Structure 1
């Protein structure tokens, strides 16, 4: 990473859930690297799963805060209102 901010817009929760429903989990992973060259679809999905789960959890927390059913409690975890 070069220290410059990532200026890409994050997808909405709905867009991420639609991608998961369509079986495109590997496309959602932001982790660097990946399974070995030529790995099959299952290996790519399994490699992406932990990163996508973590990022999806954060996205859901942000969506809950956005609609007012959760709020932030330092040190950075959402809590129910």
Structure 2
């Protein structure tokens, strides 16, 4: 019975894909958290320069925080996993 358990690998592929998707999602969330504000600022700066745009469209844009980050004295960036 124990040998059959180790030989039966029907769900192995599904678990591996699940772990892969979870890893990509975690890395994507961290990247959006780190670079989201810079991207929003860039889009806001370009939006002000657009010709023929309405005044309401060129208003300031505010970026929301997805994950709280902290930067230490050593230059390392820390993610608060409890807010995820």
TM-score by length of 2: 0.32
The structure in which a higher percent of residues are helix is 2
Decide which structure has the larger Cα Rg and report it: 2
TM-score by length of 1: 0.33
